[in-house]
Amino acid sequence: MGDSVYTSYPPQLNPAQRDFLVKTIKDWATQNGLVVRPSPMFIQKESDPNGALATNAPVTLFPSPFPKACFEEAEALQTVYNKLYAAITCNEEWLGKIMEDLIDVDDFISRLWKVHLSVQKEGYAQTLSLGLYRSDYMPHSPANATSPSLKQVEFNTISSSFGGLSSLVRKLHSELLTSPPGHPISYPPHPLFQSNIPPENTAVETLSAGLAAAHTAYGPSKSSPALPTCILFVVQDNERNIFDQLALSKQLSTVHKIPVFRLLSTEVLDHTSIPTSDSSRPLIYRPPHSPDTPFEVTTVYLRCFYAPTDYTSERDWEARTQLERSAAIKCPTVLNQLAGCKIVQQVLAETTGPDHLANFLADTDPATVARLRDTFAPQYDLSSSGRGRELALNPETASNHVLKPQREGGGNNVYKTAIPEFLRSIPEDEWKRWILMELIAPPAEAKNVALRSDGEVLSGNVIGELGIYGTILWDQANGKILQNEQGGWLMRTKAKDVNEGGVATGFSSLDSILLF
């Protein structure tokens, strides 16, 4: 099978070749906005008190091979996935039932659910809902398979990131593959480079068009007198990945001609308000640098509020509630955020009981539903009655699994034989916070070289995850879909040891793909 592609890839670099690539990539990244603010581990706050510095985003020196069939399948399924998660979000009863169990053990889920309930009680002022999604996959390539199959790692319904930078990595690798013009010698020769460049990446265009569609669908100002309208990016303080977000706001203001403002999540209550006199509840934003020219917010784009750490006080929950009860279209709503919990993925993947997937996609042809179902890796809850508990506690079967928190977000996974021991170390009533997922077997021989943000170069065996971006705008009141698009992708490549728990010498880099 295709695994042989990986054994001879990437081409070896001698020191001069490596120096050239590293220097070229470092300069290109900085020239073209493929950058991040440096981490405090690299540059301490005291060295740069005004936060003026930037550095290249972590990127691979080479694009990674990716099976063409898997890429095309992921693209083909994205609008179906969009529809699925819109349908789940519309079914508040179904979602509520799933959340029920978690509310007892997970304070974060519980608080989110309460925000939803309180706004529901008052009545939602806005029924339109916007999703900017990213579905993440690996090509499942177990030793005995004849060809890799596409398996979903997770589905992101809030703050799906890296669309802005990912398009730039594609451009970087494409330019390296074809430069200098007419006589490409930036890379050493390799069969995979023959007339091959990474596929187009329209992530910036797609995600921005989704936001612009919501802005337009919102319609004219609901205030009287009418106010100018805008999109509001609500963001974290000290965001290192700001340039990823700015790629979208640049597109919105220069191409779509829509005013965009950035507002720290901690300042939502300082600069936004909902006039008590106006039952349509428009969200008014007063720019601190020009408070006398208020704007009405059509669309709230959250690049924050996705993790418990984003809520440091009651004030943050108040802020989230203010946004939720306003007439602005939320990207996403609380319900849509909750639909992205791992537990939803797990319930959809259950092979016993009701066929939720088929129910949610009742108007989709069964063959397509089956293809989508094929992207699910086997996954289980840890209820006392279920198979998951058995697989997790047996070291032999555990070794083929990963334990993930049921919330979206990641970063706290427990791998393989560490699972039984971990479960026994926590109270059994907390087990329901975890999902057991069969490990996806990515191409074992995959290798790459990465340039970290501090300029260090590391190489070795890697695991790559492909994300596909999609946007959907629907009416939560009747399930009607106003726009459903797919476009753009992200390749993220990690040193293998990172995924196994190690971090010290590892890397996690933005990457692009060469189809084979």
Active site residues: 134, 154, 156, 161, 342, 404, 408-409, 492
Closest approach, Cβ 188 to a second copy, in A, equals: 8
Residues 255-284 that bind a second copy (CB under 8 A): 257-261
According to the binding rule CB under 8 A, does residue 25 interact with a second copy?
no
User: Residue 444, interface with a second copy (CB under 8 A)?
Assistant: no
- Per-residue HEC secondary structure of 280-331 comes to CCCEEECCCCCCCCCEEEEEEEEECCCCHHHCCCHHHHHHHHHHHHCCCEEE
Buried b (16+ CB within 10 A) or exposed e, 86-111: bbbbbbbebbeebbebbeeebebbeb
Q: Which residue in 3, 6, 56, 211 binds a second copy (CB under 8 A)?
A: 56
Determine which residue in the list 149, 272, 337, 453 makes contact with a second copy, applying CB under 8 A: 453
Binding a second copy (rule: CB under 8 A), the pick from 124, 162, 285, 295 is 295
* Interface pick for a second copy out of 211, 214, 247, 335 (rule CB under 8 A): 247
Q: From the list 137, 218, 233, 243, which residue makes contact with a second copy (rule: CB under 8 A)?
A: 243
Q: How far is the CB of 329 from a second copy (least distance, A)?
A: 18
Q: Of 452, 487, 493, nearest to 64 (Cα)?
A: 493
Distance CA 414, CA 419 (A): 6
Each as own residue / partner, the long-range contacts of residues 25-32 (CB below 8 Å, 24 or more positions apart, any chain) are 25/56, 25/59, 25/61, 25/172, 25/176, 25/451, 26/56, 26/451, 26/455, 28/172, 28/175, 29/56, 29/57, 29/59, 29/168, 29/172, 30/54, 30/55, 30/56, 32/168, 32/171, 32/172
User: Which sign does the torsion angle of CA 499, 201, 338, 272 carry?
Assistant: positive
The answer to whether 134 is annotated as binding is yes
Burial class (CB in 10 A: 0-12, 13-18, 19+), 459: middle
* Binding flags for a second copy, 167-186, as an x/- string (CB under 8 A): --------x---xxxxx-xx
Question: Which string of x and - marks every residue 323-362 that binds a second copy (by CB under 8 A)?
Answer: ----------------------------------------
Q: Which of 114, 240, 250, 387 binds a second copy (CB under 8 A)?
A: 250
Q: How far is the CB of 286 from a second copy (least distance, A)?
A: 11
Output 68 or 271, the one with its CB closest to a second copy.
271
In the complex with a second copy, the residue whose CB is nearer, 292 or 429, is 292
Beta carbons of 63 and 173 less than 8 angstroms apart: yes
H-helix or E-strand spanning residue 515: strand 513-515
Q: Which is nearer to a second copy, 52 or 367 (CB)?
A: 52
State yes or no: residue 242 binds a second copy (CB under 8 A).
Answer: yes
CB of 343 to a second copy, least distance (A): 37
Q: Which residues contact 367 (CB under 8 A, 6 or more apart)?
A: none
How is residue 360 written in tokens? Answer: 């949610």
- Cα–Cα distance for residue pair 402/405, rounded to 1 Å: 10
Write the interaction track for a second copy spanning residues 194-213; mark x where CB under 8 A is met and - where it is not.
Answer: --------------------
User: Which of 142, 191, 288, 479 touches a second copy (CB under 8 A)?
Assistant: 288
**Rounded alpha-carbon distances, angstroms, from residue 228 to 78, 222, 295, 460:** 34, 10, 5, 52
Q: DSSP 3-state assignment of 134? A: strand
Determine which residue in the list 48, 104, 318, 421 makes contact with a second copy, applying CB under 8 A.
48
Answer yes or no whether residue 225 interacts with a second copy by CB under 8 A: no
In the window 456-495, what residues touch a second copy (CB under 8 A)?
Answer: 456
Nearer to a second copy, 288 or 479 (CB): 288
- Residue ranges in 106-159 assigned as alpha helix (H): 107-122
Residue 30 token pair: 């900085």
Q: Is 263 helix (H, G, I), strand (E, B) or coil?
A: strand
Which residue among 12, 194, 276, 290 contacts a second copy (CB under 8 A)?
290
Question: What secondary structure, in 3-state letters, does 442-480 show?
Answer: CCCCCEEEEECCCCCEEEEEEEEEEEEEEEEEEECCCCC
| Position 50 contacts a second copy (CB under 8 A) | yes
Q: How many residues bind a second copy (CB under 8 A)?
A: 57
Three-class secondary structure of residue 279 per DSSP = coil
Residue ranges in contact with a second copy by CB under 8 A:
16-17, 19-21, 26-27, 30-33, 35, 38, 43, 47-56, 175, 179-183, 185-186, 188, 228, 230, 242-243, 246-247, 250, 253-254, 257-261, 287-290, 293, 295, 453-456
Binding-site positions:
134, 154, 156, 158-161, 239-241, 245, 303-306, 342, 404-413, 415, 437-440, 465, 492, 494, 500, 503-504
Q: Residues comprising the binding site for Mg(2+)?
A: 154, 156, 408
| Binding site members for substrate | 134, 158-161, 239-241, 245, 303-306, 492, 503-504
